Structure formats: structure tokens, C-alpha cells
A and B are shown apart, each in its own frame.
Chain A
């Protein structure tokens, strides 16, 4: 797993010292806000509606019990007793004081964590499949490559002042759970005919005000070329990406305006210049990094656990949890468990300090001391013995993180929205809460099946609404909150951008509208196996439109 090498330790400590001095100078009046703002943003410190907000990096969503416990400690000591897991696999603290932030960064550094490059026009935290290193369908663990990219991109002098922010995601499984096609660079691990590892490379995906699915620029990029090719893409972007208009500055616009073939030629041209240089990845270096991510020693067991089966028969909540919150593990006798941070009627992604402590304890006790944060704002214990599930479940119930709703209609992604965010045009969280309450019974959720609702409180789309099966975008119209609904989005290997179904809805109307859509789906699906998305793709928007707005 991610661990500092000596180089990391020294630069994180240097950066913390630097920031401490910058805060001191700001408070002493030696730095103006205009001078200080880019410095604080480089250290993940935003100013939101009510207070500062500190965004802490969780590289590729992987952390251990000790680190989780430190996050709990920070929530308790410097914040108001909770943190918020984000769609970029990070955590945000909503109420830190400026003067406390250097101390928080020092505490984070004690457990090899930091807030570097969680903001600003640089390469952000590299995200990965949250079942990485555990999933049965995985070709290879994507995290060693994510770590190599992290090391390359951290404080990269050439790429610290890009036209705009830059996000990379990587998945090691053919079932894409990392939304790679809606990132600036998306990497899909694959094998060629010779059995060698490489990457399908997508460029120019993204959400925000101009949503686009990434375009494939390489069917197979050999492992050894990962960094040189990434550098080539970044160089082309850094040189040609627009800087005149921040809304047209992402690489997706460059792809769109330049055209895929020309851009590919630019990238390949740049790549040819550097491919045999210092960025060529030596095999021994990849294997060395891979050793950081060596799988824990897991004893092969039986696919069926008698303990689990006995409990399943008598406990409906446990049965629902088993049905939805487990992901097949590559080692028989184990499973990856999703701890739902989406209690019915609760706030998606929020975790109290006590819950974080419990997660740390449970990871150490039942999960080989490994924890993952998913971009869907849940927490994963990737390596749990099937036999341990009943005991684990009991403790999850006690901590209120046992909802068996992963992938269901109440497993909603929502950005912080206008309750916290200075950019938001409407609230997201209360809409998520009301939908969760409306559909919250176990029977109803199970009947509806897989349905991903994603809510953003402004056009910047942190809540990924464009790729929700049902997407909700909160806007402001005549001083009132107003919600636009999109249908048919998806962030998996068959990614698609949702289409606006029609005129939007007021805050009072929007939950009813969602219910109308769900009822329409239930009425027209070919069977229980046909998910909302499949049904929508089969029948198109017409029946949904008619149900919402009446016949045209």
C-alpha cells in the first residue's frame, strides 16, 4: 500500500513547514488574500460558505486503520466531529480554523497523509477502482500504476500551472468501477495477445458544464511507456490547452476543438521524442512498487460459509446486506464489503469521528488493515473472510453503517451543494435525503434494483449527475431552487452522458418526479433483471417524458 519513501517524507515535511510560515505571514499581514489564496489552495484549503474547508488526499482511495483513526482524531479535535468522503476518494473537513491548518497538516504527515494537489490547476489525486487488489474480475491491481503516476505527478514542476485541473483514473478490471471514461486521462488495464500488461488510454473525458466521454487514443499502451505517454499528453495539453477562458480550459475542449486525429498525432509526436528517455519505466521499478501493494496472505477457503448461510435464513437485514454490499473476491472464502455511508435519510458520504474509529477497528480486526474509499462515497473493507461477516455486520449495525443498499436507489452520490459550497446554485444533500426516505424500505429498494442517482448542486457536476442513471442538477431560477433531471447516464465501461428529459422541477416537485420515473420503469421493464438503465436504453425517453409531462 501507499507509503512514503524518504523523498515523500522530506517533501511533505518541507511543504508543511512552508505552509506554516505562509499562514503566519498571512495572519501577520505580510501576505494579502490575493497572494495567499493560490498558496492555500495548493494545500487543499478552500474558503466555503460557512468556514474554511480542508480537502485531504487519500491516494487512489486506499488507507489503513491508523490513517483512518487519524482522520477521526482530526474531525474530533479540529472540526465538528465529522468528515465527508468525496467523489474523488478524498475526505473534506468542513470547519477547520486557518490557524489550526498547519497543525492538522503536521498530524496528517505523521501518518503519511497530506493535502497536496487536492486543489489547483495541477494533476489531482489519481483515483482507482475501490475493489483494487481484491476483485475477482481484475486483470491486475491498478494501484501500483496509480502510485507510479502519483510519484511522477507530485510537485511536477512542468505541470504545476496547467490551464486547468487534471484528473486521472485507472481501473484494473474490465468492469469499470472507477469511471475512467469521464476523466481527463482514463486508463483501463488490459493484456495483449502475448499476455503482457498494458493500458487502453482514454483522453478528454469529463463532466462539468461541458460533459464528454473520453476518446480512446491507444488500444494498448505498453506498461513501460505509461509515464512517457502520460507526459506526452500533459505536454500537448499544457502547450495547446486554452488559458483564455477557464470554462474552456480542460483537455476535453482541446480534444473537441483540435479533433481526435490531430491531437493523437501531437501526442504521438511528443511521445516519440521522450519515450526512450528517463521516463521509460524499468520492469524492476514497477515490480518494486508492486511489492508495496503485495496482497495480504489470505487462506483459500470455501465459497460458502455455513455461519453466513444460517444467519441469512433468519435475518432479513443481513440477507439484504449480503445481496447488495459484497463484491466477489479473487480468493475463495473472502469478499469485499461495502460499508454504506448512505443511511436512509442520511447525508451521503458523511462519517462521524466515532464511525471512523469503528471503521479503523473493524479494518484491523476483520479486514487485513485495509480500507478503501469509493468515488461513490462509501467505505470498503476489501479483504473480509466470509465467516467473519455475521460478526462484522453486527458491529456495522451498531455504528449505523450497515444499510444493505450499495448500488440501489438510496445509494446516492451528492455533492455538498449549497449547504456548504460557495459555488453551488442549489442544495443537493436535502434532495438526496428526501429521495432516500421516499424509497427507503428494504422491499422497495430491492424491487427497484440497481439504480444510480447522482445529484449536483451546480453545473460543475461534482455529484456526477451527467452519468447518473437518473441525474439531478440543482440550479437557481428566479431566486428559487430548481432541479433539472437527466436520464440514461452511466460511468461504467459503457459510459454515456444522460439526456435532459424536459423542463425542471421545483424543490417540492422533484422527489415526486423521481418517483414517477421509477414507477414508469417498474411498469415497463421486461422483467426484474432489466435494470432502469437497460430499460431506458431499450425504450428511450418517450414513456418517461410522457409520464412526467403528459402526452405531447
Chain B
């Protein structure tokens, strides 16, 4: 299972492709893609968003569902989804309570 991710152009923030082609700031809100064709469709939506100056560096990444919640598979993506492990006061994890 995959999700599509990128960084937002203006502030570099990590975003994932959500429903209705909206870029969301939480991996838990991302739209999941199963299978080659679905992923290709997601990447093409990403490419269009890149062209529209919304995001940069679009790629697909592996996720699983744990307790009904989307969780990135690789550590790198888990860190991207939360923020630096050395700085819990910064990044998305700092806003986790309100999310």
C-alpha cells in the first residue's frame, strides 16, 4: 500500500496527497493507493500539482495500517511524518495534540 508525498513549495513542509487532490499535512489523512495503476494515477496528480507550483519532489512511499491508522513503513518516512526525533518540540509532532 502506498501514499504519495512531497514537500510544499512555499515552506517546504511535508505533505501527502489526500482525497479530492488536496495536499494534507498529516500522513493519517493521506489517500492510499493499491496497485501499479492506482499509484501511477496518484503520481500523475502529484506531477500536475508540481506543475502548479503547489509542491516539489513528488514520490510514492510504502505505508501500512496499524490500528486503523496509516503508518509509514520506513524510518525515514516516519521521521518525515513526525519531525526530528532529536527535537520533539519541532515539526509535526509538536502540533500532534491538536491534530
Q: Which residues of A contact B (CB under 8 A)?
A: 26-29, 32-33, 47-52, 80, 95, 97-99, 347, 418-420, 424, 427, 429-430, 433, 476, 479-481
User: Is B53 touching A479 in the complex (CB atoms < 8 A)?
Assistant: no
15 contacts across the A-B interface (CB closer than 8 A): A27-B10, A29-B52, A33-B56, A48-B12, A49-B14, A50-B91, A95-B12, A97-B12, A98-B10, A99-B11, A347-B87, A424-B76, A427-B85, A429-B84, A430-B86
8 Å CB interface, B62-79 against A: 73-76, 79
Task: Knowing that A427-B86, A479-B74, A481-B75 touch, tell me 8 more A-B residue pairs with CB under 8 angstroms.
Answer: A27-B10, A28-B53, A29-B52, A47-B56, A49-B76, A50-B80, A98-B11, A479-B75
Q: How far is the CB of B1 from chain A (nearest CB, A)?
A: 16
Q: Is B9 interfacial (CB 8 A cutoff)?
A: yes
Q: Which residue of B lies closest to A37 (CB)?
A: B56
Q: Which residues of B contact A (CB under 8 A)?
A: 7, 9-14, 50-53, 56-57, 73-76, 79-80, 83-87, 90-91
CA distance A197 to B60 in the complex (A): 57
Q: How far is the CB of A481 from chain B (nearest CB, A)?
A: 7
CA distance A484 to B44 in the complex (A): 39
User: Is A50 touching B56 in the complex (CB atoms < 8 A)?
Assistant: no
User: Is A419 touching B85 in the complex (CB atoms < 8 A)?
Assistant: yes
By secondary structure, the B interface counts as loop
Contact partners of B10 in chain A: CB under 8 A: 27, 97-99
Contact partners of A28 in chain B: CB under 8 A: 53
User: Is A47 touching B53 in the complex (CB atoms < 8 A)?
Assistant: no
CA distance A433 to B86 in the complex (A): 9
Q: How far is the CB of A400 from chain B (nearest CB, A)?
A: 16
User: Is B80 touching A27 in the complex (CB atoms < 8 A)?
Assistant: no
A50 touches which one: B14, B51, B53 (CB < 8 A)? Answer: B14
CA distance A446 to B7 in the complex (A): 45
Contact partners of B50 in chain A: CB under 8 A: 33
4 closest cross-chain pairs (CB), A and B: A51-B12, A419-B84, A52-B12, A97-B11
Q: How far is the CB of B13 from chain A (nearest CB, A)?
A: 7
Contact partners of A50 in chain B: CB under 8 A: 12-14, 80, 83-84, 91
Contact partners of A479 in chain B: CB under 8 A: 73-75
Contact partners of A95 in chain B: CB under 8 A: 12, 90
Contact partners of A27 in chain B: CB under 8 A: 9-10, 53
CA distance A32 to B39 in the complex (A): 23
B87 touches which one: A47, A49, A52, A419 (CB < 8 A)? Answer: A419
User: Is B12 touching A26 in the complex (CB atoms < 8 A)?
Assistant: no
Q: How far is the CB of A462 from chain B (nearest CB, A)?
A: 16
B12 touches which one: A29, A98, A347, A424 (CB < 8 A)? Answer: A98
User: Is B75 touching A47 in the complex (CB atoms < 8 A)?
Assistant: no
A429 and B86 in contact, given A418-B79, A479-B75 (Cβ under 8 angstroms): yes
User: Is B80 touching A430 in the complex (CB atoms < 8 A)?
Assistant: no
Contact partners of A98 in chain B: CB under 8 A: 9-12
Q: Which residue of A lies closest to B82 (CB)?
A: A50
Q: How far is the CB of A33 from chain B (nearest CB, A)?
A: 5
Contact partners of A26 in chain B: CB under 8 A: 9, 53
Contact partners of B73 in chain A: CB under 8 A: 479
Q: Which residue of A lies closest to B89 (CB)?
A: A80
B13 touches which one: A51, A347, A429, A433 (CB < 8 A)? Answer: A51
Q: How far is the CB of B79 from chain A (nearest CB, A)?
A: 6
Contact partners of B56 in chain A: CB under 8 A: 33, 47
CA distance A130 to B9 in the complex (A): 37
Q: How far is the CB of B88 from chain A (nearest CB, A)?
A: 11
Contact partners of A99 in chain B: CB under 8 A: 10-11
